[in-house]
Amino acid sequence: MININKKLTNNDLGLNGSHHSVILVLKRNIKRRFFSFLGPDLYNSREKIDFLMNGKYYVLNYIFYNSKIHEIGMLNEYYLVYMLKFFREFALKKEDAFNFRYNNIKENYEIVIIPNLKKNNLDKQPLTIKAGWYSKEVAYGNR
């Protein structure tokens, strides 16, 4: 199983005056094969990912905004998008975190919400940290 934590920021939650709430997916999480590689051939390629949480599946939209490659814009980044309803349903706040997991045995994605990451001292663990992402491979696997 691979675990990847994402500490939520005001930007993620749409609280900084932006019109949307999205989570930037680091390209290294794609290279590690946690998130799928979405090829550059299709403009703004996307897929829906089912995440299991508390016994219920949530569909998150995963997209590769690639307007730079197609020479019609500046973006060349991966995102989880249309997250506002999800954030509101669970009353998520800055410093809360998502623990994304891929279970190789069950072959499914899971999300666990970690309230107040700083208070729970989880951001002090020896993990790889970048842009609010904390990653640690718990056991080897395909994703």
Say if CB 2 and CB 137 are below 8 A apart.
yes
pLDDT score for 112: 87
**Residue 142, pLDDT above cutoff 50:** no
pLDDT score for 128: 42
pLDDT score for 32: 63
CATH architecture of 2-137: Beta Barrel (2.40)
Say if CB 14 and CB 20 are below 8 A apart.
yes
* Predicted confidence (pLDDT) per residue in 32-85, tens digit: 677 778 888 999 999 998 888 888 888 888 899 999 999 999 989 888 888 887
Q: pTM for the full model?
A: 0.73
Higher pLDDT, 115 or 17: 115
Domain ranges, ordered by start, for the chain: 2-137
Q: Which H, E and C letters describe 71-122, residue by residue?
A: CCCCCCEEEEECCHHHHHHCCCCCCCEEEEEEECCCCEEEEEEECCCCCCCH
Percent of the chain past pLDDT 90, that is, above it, reads 11
